[in-house]
Structure 1
Amino acid sequence: MRLYAARNRFGALPTTTAGVERAFTIFITGVRLGTVAQMVPTLYPGMQSSPRPGLYLTTWLAATFAALAVSVASLVKGRPLGAGYVLADFALASVVMLVGPLVVGPEDRVGTWVGFQPGYALSVIITAIGPRSPVVLAVGLLCVTGSYVVHVSGATLPGPGFSTAIGNGLTFVVYALVCRMFSTYMRRIARDADASRAVAAELARREEERRAQVLMHNGVAVMRILSEPNLPDATRIRLLEHAEVELQRMRDYLSRQSSPGTTAQPAGRPDPHQTQGDATSLADAVRLTCTRFRDLPIELALDLGIGIKMTPTQTEVVTRALDSLLLNVREHAKAEMVVVHLDAEPDGSWILTVNDNGSGFDSTSANHGIGLREVVVGELERAGYSVAVTSQVGDGTTVTITYAAQAVPRPPAKRARVAS
C-alpha cells in the first residue's frame, strides 16, 4: 500500500519547473540509496581483507553519510543541491578514492564492491545535476578521474582487469555528459511548458474579459434606453421584460464563474453533452427574440428557415447577436421598417438577414462600437459564422449572418466585411 501511494505521489508531480526539480530529487535519492545498498553487503568482507580496517570503515561511513545527507537535503529543499554542495561531494569522492590504495588490497580495487570507491564516485557524477554551470561538472569530473587513476595505479590488473579499469574511467565521462544533457533538456521542456501555460492563462483572461464585456453590452443598452424621460409606457414595459432576460443571462454567467471546476463551452460550438433531442428551432428562437422589440416595425420572413435545428448553445450565440442588432436599431437607426429574413439551403446552410431603412452610418469612418464589433461580428466569427455589414448614411443598414454546413468553427482570418 505504501509503495502504491508513493507511486501515485510521483505520478502526480506537476509538469512544471518545480515539478521537474522535484523529480530530480527523487532520481538523486534513488541513485544514492541504491549505491549504499550495494555497499552494505561488502562492508564486513572489506574490513576483513583491508590492511587498515579502521580507516576503511571511516571512509565507508563518510561515503554512506554523504549519500544519505545528499538524499535527505535534496528531498527537503525540493530540488537538487547547488554548486557548493556538489563541489564538496566531488571532493569527498576524490578523497575516498585517493585513500583507496591504503585500505583496499590491489586485487580488490577493480571489479569488486569491496573497493566501493569508484562505484560511489560514479553515483556522485550521475547525481551532480543541480548546478547549471558546466564548469562545476568539469572541475568535479577532472578531480574524480585523476583520483581514479591514483586509485588503480597500484592495482593488480591481469588481463580483463586493465580493460575494466579503462572502461570505468570512460564511464565516468560518458555518464557525466549524458546526465548533464538529460537534465538540461528536461529543464528546458519545463520552462517551455511554464511559458506556454502563462500564455494560455493570459489568453484565457483576455477572453474572459471579452465575454464579460459582450455580456454586459445588451444590458447596458437596455438601461440606457430605459433612462430616457419621454419613453412611452408600453415601450417601457417591453424594455423591462427585455431587461429581465438580460438579467437572467448575467446571473447564469456569474453562477458559472462561481462554480469550482466549471468550464464554459466555447460560444456557438456544439456541446458534446448535448443530445439531438436538445436541438431547438432557429426560426422559433428568432421569433421569440423579436417579440421583445414590439416597439420596432419588424417584419418577419422566417418561413424558408422553419426546418433549421441548432443546439441551445449555438442558438444562444445567434439570438444574442440579434438582440444587439435590434437594440442598435432601437437606439440609433430611427427606422420605419426592419426586415428579419431567414433562408435555408438544402445542404443545411442558412442565412439570417437583418435590414433596416434607418439613418445608417458612414462605413469608411464609423466606429462600430462594442455592439457590432464584439457581440455581432466578433462573437459570431469566433463561433464559425460569416458576418457582412453593409451601411450607407441615410440608406439604412443590412447585416447578413451566414452559416455554411460542414464548416469547422475556427478563429477568423479577418474581421467582417463592411461595404458601403
Structure 2
Amino acid sequence: MGDDKGRWWLRVATLGTDGHDPRDDAELALGVIFVVLGAGVVTQALIAMPAGLPLAAARAWYLALTMTLSGVVVGGCIGTLRRGTVPAAPWGWASLVLSLAAMPAFTHIMPGSELLGSWTVSVFGFAQLSVAAAGVWMHSVPRTFLLSVAVGGYYYWLLIAAGGPYGQVSVVANALNYPVFALAISLVSQYWRILAQRTHDAHQEALLATRQMELDRYRMTVHDTSGILRLLGDEATPDEVLPAVRRQALAEANRLRHYLASPTGGAGRVGEADSGRVRLGDVLGEAVDGFADLPLELSTALGADALLVASDAVAVAQAVETLLHNVRRHARASTVWVHADTTGDRWEVVVRDDGVGFTADPATYGFGLRTQVLAALTKRGIAVEIDSAPGEGCAVTLSGPVAVPDAREHR
C-alpha cells in the first residue's frame, strides 16, 4: 500500500485536484459517503442503546447484537479509509447477512411498540446501510434492485408477523426505503464511475494528442533541415551548390536554436507574430533564398503587393520551402517556376517544375506534402491543389484571401 493510500485524509482533502486518477477519486468519494452514513448509523444506535437496553427481553443479546453490528460497520469504515474505496463484496455480504440474521432476533426480544420508527431497534438502520452499500459494491443496478426488494419484503414479513401496534401502510412505507435508497445510490455510483472513466479516457486521449502534436511539430521543424544536412554530407553534392546549402544550414541552425528556446516552438521566420501584414513578394523572396542551386525562375510582379496576415505568411513560406526542398531531392528538374498572381481579393502562388513527376495520390504523399503543405495550409483556409503525373513534372497551386491592411500601418 502506497503512502497516498494510507494518508486518506490527504487524499480526501485533495479530492478532484490535478494529478489524481478520476476513477480513484470516484471510488474515494463513494467511500467517504459510506463512511459518513456508517458513522451516522453507529452514532444513532449507540445513543439509543441506553434507552433500548431496559426494554429488551434479553439484555445480553440486545447489547451483543448492537455492539457487533456497530463493530462491523466501524471496521468497514476503517477499511474504506485505508483502501480509498467502499468495502469489497466479502464485507458487504457479511454485513448484510448479519443484519438480516439479527432482524428476527430484535423483533423477538423487543416490544412491538419499538419495532417501527424507533432507533432502540437499530438493526433496521444497519440493514438499510448494508443494502445501500450494496448499490456500490455490487456494481449492478438490476441485481442491487432485486436484492433490495427482497430485503424490503423480508422486513415487511417480519413486522407483520410480529403484530405490533402499527398499521400495515406504515410497514409498507418503511419497507419501500430499502429499494428506494439502494436504487438511488446504485444509479448515482454507476453514473459516477462512468463519468470518471470517460474523464480518464478523455485525459489519456488528450495526452496522446499532445504527444502526437509535439511529434508533428518536431518533424515539421527538422524535415527540411534533414535534407540540407544530407546535401552537406553527400560527397556527390556539386561544389556550386554548397554555398547556397551552407547559407540555408546557417539559417536552419538559427531557427532550431529559436525552436529550442521558445516554449511554443516558434518558427523564427517571416511574420513570426500573428499581428501585422506581410507582402507576398517578401514572403516568396525569403522562401526562395538559399535555393540558388536550383534552375529557378521567380515571377512575383503580379502578386508581390498582395497582403497576408503574418501567421499565414509563415505557413506559406514554410510550404514553398518544403516544395523547393522536394524539387531539389526528387524532381531532377531542368526548370523550376515560382509564380505569384492576384485576382480580385485572392492571391495565388504556383510552384511548378518540369521534373520526373509522380502520381498525385494523397495516400502516397510523404510527410512534407501531407503535413507541411496540405495540412498546415488547409487548416488556415488556404487552398492547395497538387497536379502531377509520372514524367510530366509537378505543379502545386496555393491560394488564399488577400488580407485587409493593418490599421496600424496608416498611423
Superposition TM-score, scaled by structure 1 size: 0.78
Give 2:35's match in structure 1, choosing from 26, 29, 40. 29
1:331 aligns with 2:305: no
SS at match of 1:342: strand
1:263, 1:18 → 2: CA distance? 33
Aligned to 1:299: 298
SS in 2 for 1:276: coil
Cα shift at 1:404 = 4.8
Shift of 1:73: 1.0
The separation in 1 between residues aligned to 2:278 and 2:88, in whole angstroms, is 63
Contact 2:297–2:335 (CA under 8 A) maintained in structure 1 = yes
The partner residue of 1:59 within 65, 68, 74 is: 65
Distance in 1, matches of 2:15 and 2:318, equals 47
Partner secondary structure for residue 293 of structure 1: coil
**Alignment match, 2:99:** 93
Partner residue of 2:161? 153
Partners of 1:87 and 1:140 within 8 A in 2:
no
RMSD (Å) for aligned C-alpha atoms = 3.6
Q: Which runs of 4+ in 1 moved over 6 A?
A: 4-7, 262-265
1:184 to 169, 182, 190: 190
Q: CA 1:404–1:23 in 2, change beyond 3 Å: closer, same or farther?
A: farther
Q: Is residue 378 from structure 1 mapped to residue 375 from structure 2 by the alignment?
A: yes
Q: How many Å separate the matches in 1 of 2:44 and 2:305?
A: 79
Shift of 1:184: 2.7
Distance 1:38 1:252 in 2: 68
Give the whole-Å Cα distance in 2 for the aligned partners of 1:162 and 1:145: 13
TM-aligned CA distance change 1:54 to 1:244, over 3 Å: farther
Q: 8 Å contact 1:90–1:143 — kept in the other structure?
A: no
How far residue 28 of structure 1 moved from its aligned partner, in angstroms, is 1.3
Give the letter for the 2:293 counterpart: D
- Per-residue deviation, residues 296-345 of structure 1 (Å, max 9, x unmatched): 33414066353524244x43332221111111222333445433333456
Equivalent position of 2:406 in the other structure: none
Judge conservation of contact 1:318–1:380 (CA < 8 Å) in 2: yes
Cα deviation, residue 355, structure 1: 2.5
Residue pairs, 1:187-202, within 5 angstroms: 187-202=193-208
Percent identical across equivalent pairs? 22
| Structure 2 contact 318–372 (Cα < 8 Å) conserved | yes
Map of 2:6 onto structure 1? none
Q: Take 1:121 and 1:305, find their aligned partners in 2: how far apart are those partners?
A: 84
Q: 2:266 matched to 1:238?
A: no
2:33 maps to amino acid: F
Q: Which amino acid aligns with 1:381?
A: T
1:39 counterpart residue number: 45
Q: Deviations over 1:229-261 (max 9, x none)?
A: 3545453132122123334444555567xxxxx
Q: Counterpart in 1 of 2:232?
A: 226
- For 2:122 and 2:158, locate their aligned partners in 1 and report how far apart those are by CA, in whole Å: 15
**Residues of 2 paired with 1:103 and 1:253: CA distance?**
81
Q: Which amino acid aligns with 2:324?
A: L
Tell me if structure 2 keeps the 8 A contact 1:73–1:81: yes
Indicate the residue corresponding to 1:317 in structure 2: 315
Contact in 1 for aligned 2:144/2:182 (Cα 8 Å): no
- Given the alignment of the two structures, is residue 398 of structure 1 paired with residue 395 of structure 2, yes or no? yes
CA pair 31-281 structure 1, distance change in 2 beyond 3 A:
farther
Write the distance in 1 (CA, Å) between the matches of 2:25 and 2:12.
15
Matched, 1:353 2:350: yes
Rounded to whole Å, the distance in 1 between the matches of 2:104 and 2:149 is 14
- Cα–Cα, structure 1 residues 49 and 365, in superposed 2: closer, same or farther, change >3 Å? closer
Secondary structure of the residue aligned to 1:304 is coil
Which of 124, 128, 143 is the aligned partner of 2:130? 124
Given that 1:122 and 1:172 are in contact with CA atoms closer than 8 Å, whether structure 2 keeps it comes out as yes
Q: Would you say the 8 A contact 1:390–1:399 is kept in 2?
A: yes
Query: How far, CA to CA, are the matches of 1:42 and 1:345 in structure 2?
Result: 90
Change beyond 3 A, Cα 1:294–1:100: same
1:10 aligns to 2:15 (yes or no) = yes
Q: Tell me by how many angstroms 1:95 deviates.
A: 2.3
Separation in 2, partners of 1:185, 1:263: 38
What residue in structure 1 maps to residue 340 of structure 2?
A: 342
What 5-or-longer segments of structure 2 have no aligned partner? 1-8, 404-411
Q: CA deviation at 1:15?
A: 6.7
Cα deviation for residue 31 of structure 1 reads 1.6
Q: In the superposition, relative to structure 1, how do residues 7 and 393 fare at CA in structure 2: closer, same or farther (>3 Å)?
A: closer
Shift of 1:376: 1.9
Q: Could you tell me which amino acid in structure 2 is paired with residue 60 of structure 1? A: T
Q: How many residues align?
A: 387
Residues 333 and 396 of structure 1 are in contact (CA less than 8 Å); yes or no, is this contact kept in structure 2? yes
Output the CA distance in 2 between the equivalents of 1:193 and 1:83.
Answer: 26
